[in-house]
Structure 1
Amino acid sequence: MDRSRPLLALLTATALAVPGLTALSSAARAADADVLTNGGFESGLSGWTCSASSGTTVNSPVHSGSSALQATPAGSDDAQCAQTVSVQPNSQYTLAGYVRGSYVYLGASGTGTTDVSTWTQSAPDWQKLSTTFTTGPSTTKVTVYTHGWYGTGAYDADDLSLTGPGGSGGTTQPPAVPAGLTASSVTSSSVALSWSAVSGATGYAVYRDGVKVQSASGTSATVTGLTASTAYSFQVTAVNDAGESAKSAAVVVTTSTGGSGGDPGGGSAGLPAHALVGYLHASFANGSGYTRLADVPDSWDVIDLAFAEPTSPTSGDVEFTRCPVTDCPNAESDADFKAAIKAKQAAGKKV
C-alpha cells in the first residue's frame, strides 16, 4: 500500500491553507520585475536622456557586460542622465546601480511621496548604491536619474535597475534636451532667447541662473526685468505629458550698461560686450590645486565663487564654506580673501 500519497496531499493542503502564502508568492514575483529600460547601457543611450549631451557609452570600465555609461559635468551642468518609467500607485520600489567616480548620485523624482537619492563621495572602483521608495496613491510615472557634481570629472554608471511592480503603460520618455540655445537683442534689462524645436515637445521652460522664470509654447522667449551690467546664465528645457527634459547647455549673457549710477555688483565700470566668466572653486581643491582669488588672471571679467556642497545625501540643503588650510595649504586668510574681492571690484571686475 502506498502511504506517501495521503501524506503528500495533506502537506499540499496545509501549505495552501496558510493565510497569505499564495499572495506573498505572487507579490514576490511581481517585485522581481525590473521596469528600467537598458539599465546596463548595452544598447547605447537608448531609453536615457543626458543633459547638455554630457553622456556617452564606453567599453571600459564596465561593471558587467560590454558597455557602461560615462558622463562628464561641465560648467553649470552636472551631467544628469535620466529615464522616466511607468509604475504602479501605492507600490514599493528598489532603485540600485553601480557607479565609479567622485560625488556620484542615484535618485528618483516624481514618486508622489518623498523623492529619494543616494550618493557616494568617492568611488575609485565600482560601488553599489541602493535606495527604496513607495509611490503615491495616484503616481503612475517616476523619473530615475544619475548625475555627477561640478568640477569633479567624469563618472561611470552601470547595471542600474528599478525593481517593483511593472507599470501598465511601459516606458514613457520626456522630450530630448533642446539644442542651439542662443541670445540676441541684449539690452540693459532684457535678453531675447531662441532654440531649436524638439520633436514631441508640447512646450518649453526657460531658466535663469538655475531657476525657472518663464514658460514658452514656441522656440523663443524674451526675459525681462534684468539688471544692467550683470552676467546671467540661461538654459531651456522641453516639456511634454511624460515630464521635462534635462536643462540645455547654458548661455551666459551680460546685460548692457544702463544710464548713470554706480555698479554695486563689481565696481564702477561696466562689463565689455563679450565678457569672460569663470568659476573659482574656492571651497575645495582638486587636481588643479587651489587658486587664490588675488591670483585670478586679469582677463576674467566675472568671477563666480564656487561651489556649495550638500549638507547630507537626502536633505537637499547646501552650504558654502571656504577650503580649509588642511586641504588647501596655500589658501589665503579670511582678511586677505575679503581684500582680494575689494581689489578685483575696484579694478572693474564682478565677484
Structure 2
Amino acid sequence: MERTSSPSSGRPGVLRRSPSPARWRRLFRGGALAGTAALLLSGLAVGTAQAADVNNAQNAGFESGLAGWTCTNGTTVGSPTHGGAAALKGSPTASDTGQCAQTVKVKPDSTYTLSAWVQGSYVYLGASGTGTTDVSTWTPGSSGWSQLTTTFKTGASTSSVQVYLHGWYGQAAYLADDVSVFGPDGGGGGGTTPSVPGAPGGLAAGAASATSIPLSWNPVSNATSYNVYRDGTKVQSVTGASATVTGLTAATTYSFQVTAVNAAGESPKSAAVSATTTSGGGNPPGGGGNVPKHAVTGYWQNFDNGAAVQTIAQVPSQYDIIAVSFADATSTPGAVSFTLDSAGLKGYTVDQFKADIRAKQAAGKKVIISVGGQNGTVSVTNSASATNFANSLYSLMQTYGFDGVDIDLENGVNATYMSQALRALSAKAGSSLVITMAPQTIDMQSTSAEYFKTALNIKDILTVVNMQYYNSGSMLGCDGKVYSQGSVDFLTALACIQLEGGLAPSQVGLGVPASTRGAGSGYVSPAIVNNALDCLSKGTGCGSFKPSRTYPDLRGAMTWSTNWDATAGNAWSNAVGPHVHAMP
C-alpha cells in the first residue's frame, strides 16, 4: 500500500525484489528484452508446421558444449538436463544477465516458433533482428523444467536472426536445454523435423478438494504442450507437466488422461487415472468464518497521504472486510507491530479505534491487519522468523480485536516459511481466522511463483486473494495473450490464471484503485469492474476475452483505499458494493 501523497505512485505495485515490466523496458536495449507485451501484442499467430520445417538452431541441446553460442557467463553441465547429456548453465551477476546468444539462419517472410526448456528464476528467451517485431518471453521461476515458447515472423529481406537466453541481474544461475527455432529451413540449422511425441507416462492425481483435482505426469522430451482430458473430453491445455482441473462436483469420481503435443501432432492418450473429489460439506474452501459469499474488501489508511482521513466507524457499510494498513517490521526477525497514527488521524484515539472495530464486527464486518505495503520489508525466511511472525500477529489480534491478517509483502515472500507462519497463526486463532492476500500481477502469473505457491499451500485456510490489477503494465492472461491494464480483459484474463491455477472461485477477488488518485496507473471505472465481475461469474459483460466457463462463486472485489473512495464521494463503493452483494 502507498504511504506517500504522490498520485503517481498510488497503492504499491512496483516490484521491488525483481524487475517490473516498466523497468524491463528501461534497462533493455536492442537484442535484449522488449517485454512480453511486444511478443503478443504484435498479433503474430503460431504457424502451422509444414513438411519442410526444421529446427534451425545449431547445437540446440548443448551436446557440443557452447559451440555455436556466444555467452557472457555461461557453461555447460551434465546434470540436471532436460534431454541428452548436457544443458546450458548461465550465471548472472550484479552487472550481467548471463546471456547466451546464437545467430540462426532463416528464410525471409516466414514464421518461426522459438522454444526452449528452462529451469530457475527469471529466465528469458527471445529473438532480435527479425526484420519485423522482435519478441521475447520469460518465466518468473520454476524449480523443475518448464518450456518457454513464442513465435516471430521474419522480414522480407531477413536471412538471419539472433536468438538469446538470459537470466536477471543478481539472480541465481539458470539452466536451459533443447532450444528450437522451428520453421522453414534457412540453410544452417542443426535440427530435424519433429516426430509426434509419445504418450505421457506416470499420470497421477494429488490431494483432491471438493471442486478440484491436481494432476501431474512425466515430461515428454519433444512435447511443446499437453492436453488434459476428463472423462474423455478435453478440458485444458498446458505447457508444463502438471495441471489442476477445477469446477468439479463434490463427492464425484472422475477419470483423467493426458496427451503430449508438438508441431507434428498429438500423442495417444496416457493410461487413465481415477480420482474422487471430497464431500466438501457444502461450504466453500478456505477459512474466514462467516465472511459473506460475495464480499467487498477495502484498505483503511493509518496515515494521512492526502486522501480523506477516516475513522473505522466512517468506513461505508458496503465494505465487508476492512484491512487496516499497515503493520510494520520490528527489530526481531519476522515480528511485526502496529501503532495507531493518532496525530495524523486528527486525534483518533486507540480506545475509539478499538470500539469502532467492535462495532463493525457487531454489524457483521471483518477488520483485519495488513502486513507490508509498498514500503514494508517484513522478512519470513526461516522457522524462527515464521514463529515470530505468527506470535506477533496473534498478539495484535488480541490487543486490537482484529479478525485476521492481510499479506501485502511487495518485497517478496518465501512460500515455505510464510505458509508455515500462517498455519501457526491459524492454529492459534482457529477456523474463524480471515487470511487475505494482495499480490502484484507478476506474483500470480505462474503457480511456481512464491506468492502463488503460498496461496496454494494454505488453500484450506485462505479466505481470498485480491490481486492488484494496477501499477503493473501489460501482462499475460490465461490464454497466453498480453492484455493492457485498465480494461475489462485485463481483469478477466488475469483472474482466469488464478481460477484455473488451483484457487477456488471463492478465493479470488479483483483488486482495483478507488479513484485515479489511488494508483499511478490501471484505474478502471466501477462500470468496468462490474462488467468483469459479470463476465467471470455469469459470462456477460466480457470484452474480447471470454473465459471457457463461469465462476459464480467468485468472491468479489477489493479497492485501495476506503480513504481514496471517500475523497471521490464513495463513488466506487456505492457502485461496486451493491453489484457484488447482488451476485448469485
> Which TM-score tier does this pair reach, normalised by the shorter chain?
0.3 to 0.5
Larger % of strand: which?
1
TM-score (ref. length: structure 1): 0.41
TM-score (ref. length: structure 2): 0.25
State the structure with more CA Rg: 1
Larger % of helix: which?
2
